[in-house]
């Protein structure tokens, strides 16, 4: 087997290194990468906000559609990470090359189709979402560029997941950091027309984003092709291509749907909270944005947990998988307690920063005092979902998300609202996080994992295990 030395070293760490330190070493760079993604969105929002309220509102209307489309790429990325990592764990580098190459072809094909369909349906989709006629030209200016450039945007995302599958979380984070810097530099030139560039407004923001991702694409292809030797030069046979696509989509499809569940649940919760007035909706918006930042550590861990488990599954190192689940659970609890403490003591200044309204401040503080105590348990659900993808159990991963969001959180928030008002909504979400965390972790450890363990003990080939 001819395999890149850097992959060999990282594979050794993934398969033999001390589990806790290895996961922590992979998690820290991932946090930087996630912060870079947040920075891209914040910078875009800041500059577009300088154009005026109508421009900011128009681009804000695009967020639900953008997130749904993003979810498709996220799903393909998760599927790629899982199957490539298992092939690495098996020591099958030719298979690694085929799967990585196939994932990029699949991404380009799917995103190309999505982009064309997206351009053709801009008007009816955004009219249905409630965009006003004066917003439509601005929305179209932004989304036409974004849709047509989306294959270039999605490819680096999937490529980064293939790189993470090798046990390298630092390089993808550096790529995303570079992307964020390029985007921040280009935004004012294209948006406001600095220097030789004409003023393009919201269209300029979309162009800057696509160009930034193109640079990330070039960097990612260099890493995958030149450094890691993970790309096939020749076009794979259609048999190998379709077989690889089938394996990737087996995980990618439920993962994509799972990613869509969170904004859907958030929309339902927002609808419940809207009955208490604009200050309640504003406070909920502030709280959820703080929550997204506060959970970065656990989100980073879950992103690298899938390839870690998948590699060790490929190598049949079941003890390391169990140890990784135990360590991840402890990490989630420690992170959750730390975040809960920090948010509790800083609730007053945080609420004051985001709003001058006393009602919004009161409810924001209530959110930051109640919900963060359950963040560690919410992290357990995220870990369980990620572990299922690593174990090639994508349906179970989807079930974890459905259970948390629509079996527990939404119904409990409704019950809390009926009995205790707006604070009851927060309490319902709190209880939902607690129950889902405990139940999901228990189910994965004592049902999903044991099922995989029994198949391994029977010495069933990995290809057959993937199909069971």
Span 337-352, pLDDT tens digits: 999 999 999 999 988 8
Coil, strand or helix: which one is 4? coil
**Domain-wise residue ranges, the chain:** 1-236, 260-468
Whole-number pLDDT of residue 287 = 87
Is 93 or 463 the better-scoring residue by pLDDT? 93
HEC letters along 139-182: HHHHHHHHHHCHHHHHHHHHHHHHHHHCCCCHHHHHHHHHHHHH
Whole-number pLDDT of residue 34 = 87
Query: How many Å apart are CA 442 and CA 283, to the nearest integer?
Result: 33
Whole-number pLDDT of residue 11 = 75
> What does the DSSP 8-state code read for residue 370?
H
- Token duo for residue 34: 């996630």
Is 140 or 40 the better-scoring residue by pLDDT? 140
CB atoms within 10 A of CB 105: 15
Whole-number pLDDT of residue 463 = 55
Inform me whether the pLDDT recorded for 325 exceeds 80. Answer: yes
Query: How many Å apart are CA 327 and CA 78, to the nearest integer?
Result: 21
Whole-number pLDDT of residue 59 = 80
Kindly provide the b/e burial profile for residues 246-285, where b requires at least 16 CB atoms within 10 angstroms of the residue's own CB. ebbbbbbbbbbbbbbbeeebbebbeebbeebeebbbbbbb
CB atoms within 10 A of CB 123: 12
Query: How many Å apart are CA 333 and CA 380, to the nearest integer?
Result: 8
Contact criterion met (CB below 8 Å) for 29 and 190: no
CB atoms within 10 A of CB 41: 14
Inform me whether the pLDDT recorded for 162 exceeds 50. Answer: yes
Nearest C-alpha neighbor of 462 from the set 157, 162, 87, 212: 87
Whole-number pLDDT of residue 374 = 95
Whole-number pLDDT of residue 38 = 81
Inform me whether the pLDDT recorded for 317 exceeds 80. Answer: yes
pLDDT-derived band at 253 (thresholds 50, 70, 90) equals very high
- Token duo for residue 184: 């921040």
For range 295-303, the mean pLDDT? 94
At residue 186's C-alpha, the angle toward residues 184 and 190, to 5°, is 130
Whole-number pLDDT of residue 457 = 65
What is the sign of the dihedral through the CA atoms of 308, 311, 313 and 318?
Answer: negative
pTM confidence score: 0.88
Kindly provide the b/e burial profile for residues 321-356, where b requires at least 16 CB atoms within 10 angstroms of the residue's own CB. bebbbebbbebbbebbeebbeebeeebeebbeebbe
Whole-number pLDDT of residue 450 = 83
In which residue are the tokens 């140890």 written? Answer: 323
User: What confidence tens digit (pLDDT) does each residue in 174-227 have?
Assistant: 999 999 999 999 999 999 988 888 899 899 999 999 999 999 999 999 999 999
pLDDT-derived band at 354 (thresholds 50, 70, 90) equals confident
Average pLDDT, the chain: 89
What is the sign of the dihedral through the CA atoms of 237, 239, 240 and 242?
Answer: positive
* Percent of the chain surpassing pLDDT 90: 60
Contact criterion met (CB below 8 Å) for 112 and 193: no
Whole-number pLDDT of residue 2 = 44
Range with the poorest average pLDDT among 81-95, 103-117, 281-295: 281-295
Contacts of 133 (CB under 8 A, 6+ apart): none
Distance of CA 291 to the CA centre of its chain: 15
Nearest C-alpha neighbor of 256 from the set 366, 114, 143, 117: 114
For range 304-308, the mean pLDDT? 94
Coil, strand or helix: which one is 140? helix
Q: How many CA atoms lie within 13 A of 147 on its CB side?
A: 19
Q: How many CA atoms lie within 13 A of 182 on its CB side?
A: 18
| Helix orientation angle between 150-165 and 136-148, rounded to the nearest 10 degrees | 50
Distance of CA 140 to the CA centre of its chain: 26
- Token duo for residue 400: 């974890």
pLDDT-derived band at 1 (thresholds 50, 70, 90) equals very low
pLDDT-derived band at 378 (thresholds 50, 70, 90) equals very high
- Token duo for residue 115: 């982009």
Is 122 or 465 the better-scoring residue by pLDDT? 122
CA-CA distances (angstroms) from residue 19 to 7, 30, 253? 18, 17, 30
Query: How many Å apart are CA 128 and CA 181, to the nearest integer?
Result: 35
Inform me whether the pLDDT recorded for 143 exceeds 60. Answer: yes
User: What confidence tens digit (pLDDT) does each residue in 125-139 have?
Assistant: 888 877 788 889 999
- Helix, strand, coil distribution of the chain in percent, nearest 5: 85, 0, 15
CA-CA distances (angstroms) from residue 370 to 7, 89, 342? 44, 42, 13
Inform me whether the pLDDT recorded for 460 exceeds 60. Answer: no
Query: How many Å apart are CA 275 and CA 417, to the nearest integer?
Result: 10
Distance of CA 451 to the CA centre of its chain: 27
Coil, strand or helix: which one is 253? helix
User: What confidence tens digit (pLDDT) does each residue in 77-91 have?
Assistant: 999 999 999 999 988
Whole-number pLDDT of residue 6 = 54
User: What confidence tens digit (pLDDT) does each residue in 395-438 have?
Assistant: 999 999 999 999 999 999 999 999 999 999 999 999 999 999 99
HEC letters along 68-122: HHHHHHHHHHHHHHHHHHHHHHCCCHHHHHHHHHHHHHHHHHHHHHHHHHHHHCH
């Amino acid at each position: 087997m001819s395999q890149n030395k850097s992959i060999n070293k990282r594979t050794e760490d993934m398969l033999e290194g001390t589990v806790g330190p290895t996961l922590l070493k992979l998690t820290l760079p991932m946090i930087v990468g996630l912060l870079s993604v947040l920075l891209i969105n914040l910078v875009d929002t800041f500059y577009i906000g300088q154009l005026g309220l109508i421009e900011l509102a128009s681009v804000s209307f695009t967020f639900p559609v953008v997130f749904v489309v993003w979810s498709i790429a996220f799903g393909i990325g998760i599927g790629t990470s899982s199957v490539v990592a298992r092939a690495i764990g098996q020591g099958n580098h030719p298979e690694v090359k085929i799967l990585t190459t196939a994932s990029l072809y699949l991404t380009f094909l799917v995103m190309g189709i999505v982009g064309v369909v997206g351009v053709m349906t801009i008007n009816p989709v955004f009219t249905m979402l409630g965009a006003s006629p004066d917003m439509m030209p601005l929305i179209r200016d932004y989304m036409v560029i974004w849709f047509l450039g989306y294959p270039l945007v999605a490819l680096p995302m999937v490529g980064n997941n293939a790189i993470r599958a090798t046990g390298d979380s630092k390089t993808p984070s550096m790529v995303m950091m570079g992307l964020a810097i390029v985007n921040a530099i280009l935004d004012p030139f294209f948006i406001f027309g600095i220097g030789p560039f004409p003023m393009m407004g919201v269209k300029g923001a979309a162009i800057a984003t696509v160009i930034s991702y193109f640079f990330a694409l070039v960097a990612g292809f260099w890493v995958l092709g030149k450094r890691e030797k993970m790309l096939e030069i020749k076009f794979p046979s259609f048999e190998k291509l379709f077989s690889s696509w089938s394996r990737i989509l087996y995980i990618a499809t439920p993962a994509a749907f799972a990613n869509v569940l969170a904004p859907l649940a958030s929309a339902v919760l927002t609808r419940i909270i809207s009955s208490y007035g604009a200050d309640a909706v504003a406070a909920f918006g502030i709280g959820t944005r703080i929550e997204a930042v506060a959970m970065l550590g656990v989100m980073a861990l879950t992103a690298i947990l899938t390839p870690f488990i998948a590699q060790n599954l490929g190598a049949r190192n079941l003890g390391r998988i169990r140890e990784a689940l135990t360590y991840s659970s402890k990490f989630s609890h420690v992170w959750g307690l730390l975040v809960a403490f920090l948010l509790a003591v800083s609730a007053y200044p945080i609420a004051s920063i985001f709003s001058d309204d006393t009602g919004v401040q009161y409810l924001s503080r209530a959110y930051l005092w109640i919900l963060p105590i359950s963040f560690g348990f919410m992290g357990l659900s995220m870990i369980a979902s990620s572990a299922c993808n690593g174990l090639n159990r994508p349906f179970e991963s989807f079930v974890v998300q459905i259970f948390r969001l629509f079996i527990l959180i939404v119904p409990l928030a409704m019950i809390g609202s009926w009995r205790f008002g707006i604070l009851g909504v927060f309490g319902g979400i709190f209880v939902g996080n607690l129950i889902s965390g405990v139940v999901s972790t228990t189910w994965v450890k004592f049902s999903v994992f044991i099922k995989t363990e029994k198949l391994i003990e029977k010495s069933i080939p990995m290809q057959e295990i993937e199909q069971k």
